[in-house]
Amino acid sequence: MDSKDDTYISGTEYTLMTLASLLPFRVRVGVEDTGDDSSYAWMEISSGSNAARVRLDLPSRRYWDSGRVKVHYINDIPVLYVRRRPEYLFQGGRCGFDILGAVFYLLSRTEEYHAPRDMWDTFPVFYSSLYVQGVWMRPLVNLWARVLEKELRTLAKQKNIPLRQVPLWPDGHTFALAITHDVDVVSTSVWHHHLTRWRDNPMKARRVPLLVAKVTRSIVKGAQEHHFLDDWIELEEQYGLRSTFYFSVPVDYRHLYDNVYRFDERIHFRGRTSCLSDVMREVADEGWEVGLHSTYNSYDNPVRLRFERMNIERVTGRQVLGVRQHWLHFDAGLTWPAQETAGFLYDSTLGYNESPSYRAGIAFPFRPYHISEYRVLHLWELPMTIMDKAVFGQSGLRMDEFIGMELCRRVVADVALTGGLVVVNWHLQYRDEHRYPGWWNVYKSLLSYAQELGAWIAPAGAISEYWDERVRLLGLDTYRL
């Protein structure tokens, strides 16, 4: 790209500003352009003419592709590289690895652009270079940010430069946890749901016995079996918490994988029979966030995304801030721009169906970068870290309650140590302890454990609004040097 328009932001600018937003104090960033190979980027803490500066080599992004990525451990911290194996993290104010190239590679999701997809048209964890290198469950960018923070603190102390503190999270909390729920079903007793799914299935002739079993069970159990929203609301009220519920919209372009409930459906809620739209409005009025669980085929279509967002807003009478794509159907080059155009503040799709993970190597909110247009998108990504099905489900790790609980607690502890953000996704139907033994207990354990560790627990929308304001106050929202 030869000429720069008003939206042009280089990958180096984007990565420097993103890293700066992950530090708990103010820094200045820039690039020292010498016109040759000795040019470098820098990050510094300054006071008058006195400055503590860290030098970061400019990235060699043309070398970063998934087939070349390797990992090397330095002081138990995994470092990605593609050319020379790094020998140190920081030394004398200089970074010893290509931190800018590695962070850009992870956050831009370049490895997904031309990667193979699975049968559900998603990018599974097994295709990830982080999985191949065995570090898909390490928050790499968080770890590097903390090492960078330590180096800057050391240099500032040596030069007696005071730090202008800007805490990562409010009210003394050391990390954050967003609790979210994908609403895939609103009543497991509604027999017409099963008929609708069967009708749309191309292999329906083979599934008649299963259909008869499901419909019979549904009619026999009747309205006694429901979506357990009461239990989720009651539990979170006991903890003094609020969460995010992502609801789907009934559409005429529904895919086989999409949810089938309607807003006019009558469900049992708080001891009475209510219309789903009334329940959604009541939940929103009491402080829970209602977001959009967008349809499978909306992942690349801003018109459909906007239509679905406006339908949720019409029901609740409140602005819809966030979205999570159903089935995690996501394409980095298409989905983020479509969501931005549709008017969302944030997305929380970036995770895997097969395992808890850090799909982009990060456990913090970040703005995606549009590679082909050289600009930063006006959208926050809150990467999904832990999903119930990824831990216990048949397409996930298939863990039992106790091993799954230990894994989830380890993920929360790892993020807490780096001051980051955990995004938890627990589906409503997995409250049923007869069908899904232990899943509900693990969720309760996660809330207690996160509170013990000092987490700020909030809906995803509240966290996005907070982070958006924090980056603005830091003066990093322009992403320009």
Is residue 337 within 8 Å of 330, Cβ to Cβ? Answer: no
> What ranges in 393-438 are assigned the alpha helix state H?
401-418
Contacts of 104 (CB under 8 A, 6+ apart): 11, 12, 14, 15, 59, 61, 64, 369
Question: HSE of 63 in the Cβ direction (CA atoms, 13 Å)?
Answer: 14
Q: What is the pTM of this model?
A: 0.93
One digit per residue, the tens of pLDDT, for the chain of length 481 reads: 334 566 789 999 999 999 999 999 999 999 998 777 778 999 999 999 999 999 999 987 667 988 899 999 999 999 999 989 999 999 999 999 999 999 999 999 999 998 999 999 999 999 999 999 999 999 999 999 999 999 999 999 999 999 999 999 999 999 999 999 999 988 755 545 555 544 555 544 555 565 466 556 555 554 445 568 989 999 999 999 999 999 999 999 999 899 989 999 888 899 898 999 999 999 999 999 999 999 999 999 999 999 999 999 999 999 999 999 999 999 999 999 999 999 999 999 999 999 999 999 999 999 999 999 999 999 999 999 999 999 999 999 999 999 999 999 999 999 999 999 999 999 999 998 988 999 999 999 999 999 999 999 999 999 999 999 999 999 999 888 7
Residue among 38, 54, 214, 64 nearest 129 (CA): 64
pLDDT at 133: 97
Question: HSE of 25 in the Cβ direction (CA atoms, 13 Å)?
Answer: 18
CATH 3.40.50.300 fits 171-192+221-473, yes or no: no
pLDDT at 3: 42
DSSP for 119-156 reads TTS---GGG-HHHHTT-TTS-HHHHHHHHHHHHHHHHH
pLDDT at 204: 45
SS3 state of residue 267: strand
Long-range interactions of 153-157: CB distance < 8 A, separation 24+ = 155/45, 155/52, 155/53, 155/54, 155/93, 156/45, 156/52
pLDDT at 434: 87
Domain boundaries, the chain: 11-169, 171-192+221-473, 193-220
Residue among 310, 305, 308 nearest 336 (CA): 305
Phi-psi category of residue 228: left, alpha or beta, with phi > 0 → left and psi -120 to 50 → alpha: left
pLDDT at 199: 52
pLDDT at 203: 47
Give the 3-state DSSP-derived string for 184-219, with helices as H, strands as E and coil as C: CCCCCCCHHHHHHHHHHCCCHHHHHHHHHHHHHHHH
Residue among 146, 16, 24, 129 nearest 75 (CA): 146
Question: HSE of 473 in the Cβ direction (CA atoms, 13 Å)?
Answer: 14
